Chain A
């Protein structure tokens, strides 16, 4: 039985993605060819937005308005202050090297003495940068609470909706961080759930007038019940099943 192209694939095709496989299918399948022609006609009618032309002086005008609002950065230091600064940098580097040597020595000693302490997988992939370790379990707890609230949000109480929106905004940033880490650490199950969750959070966070109808639409269109189920499954994962929620997981920001 022939597998037809989905709407998503047709849209991808229109915008120039996955051209080779999809266009070969279109030549062989009349149903998909007709659907694609209809989609193309719809999208072709969406006119080009005519942007007002700005003259060569526009940049100058922008700069003129902007200039009084800018506070200059501090000028670079020179002379003895520069020398003092270099001395401080050298001292800091020396201390850092001492700490690094102690750390490496400690690790070496630990291996030799056969100690098998479990090290939390919270090491930053970017050593030297300040690291904020965020606990995945907390994130999943908060998202679960948000999704449960979303499932039951039917009121037109604007305060309640604003609370939901503010929580979604906070979670959006950390969700992006966890998604990046999960993608890098080859955990497709977690990455996929966080990806779908990111879409829901973005929809709620960026909606200017969040109404009960909007929430209903998000629930239906984005299958939030399914995402909630995935989150609950992830929270019950055992330690040998990838990045378990009770382990620390984070990334540099």
Chain B
């Protein structure tokens, strides 16, 4: 796949714009996944996908042939998402409200009709978790999502965010400490 991606990139740079469609079709789902995990909102994540592929197309000449296109577009998408959550006002938009609990739930909860008490507890944990995530800075949140949900190593996070490995490690560390503090009251119930 990697070799194919490289030949597609060469074709695009030679003037075959339509060839870029192959890359978009192959990597859209993966890019959407990481964007959604950072942004937590489907519509915004879809916009991030568009923006990431557009930015990648515009900078295709700087694409390093030794890396894979998948890794490259992943990094671009993470940085687009980080830029998005760094903009003032976005956090307020993402703040969980009373009415958004039916369709836009970003966390896994147990089926409502299986056990109402358990469902309520699960809902409480989810809300507390969302609130706790809002207390993180954009860098901390992104680093934590990459570590905890995307299973990326410290060096991969550092490379993706363009910071030193120790700074990436510290960002994850601070995020975990904050989340532990915020979720401590729920620990007995879980």
Q: Which of A's residues lie within 8 Å of B, judged by CB?
A: 7-8, 11-12, 15, 17, 38-39, 41-43, 45-52, 54, 58-60, 62-63, 65-67, 69-70, 72-76, 172-173, 176, 179, 194-196, 198-199, 202-203, 206-209, 214, 221
Contacts and interface: CB of A to CB of B under 8 A. Distances in A.
A66 B50 contact: yes
Nearest to A67: B21
A95 to B, nearest CB: 24
Contacts of A11: 172-173, 176
A45 B37 CA distance: 17
Contact of A45 (B42, B86, B162, B187): B187
A179 B54 contact: no
A62 B164 contact: no
B40 A49 contact: yes
Interface of chain A: mostly helix, strand, loop or mixed: helix
Contacts of B40: 49
Interface of chain B: mostly helix, strand, loop or mixed: helix
A46 B129 contact: yes
Contacts of A58: 28-29, 32
Interface of B: 12-17, 20-21, 24-29, 32-33, 36-37, 40, 42, 46, 49-50, 53-54, 57, 60, 82, 85-91, 105-108, 125-126, 129, 137-139, 145, 147-149, 153-154, 161-164, 166-167, 169-174, 176-177, 179-180, 183-184, 186-187, 190
A176 B163 contact: yes
Contact of A75 (B15, B46, B171): B15
Contact of A59 (B26, B54, B86, B161): B26
Contacts of A70: 17, 20, 54, 57
A135 B163 CA distance: 20
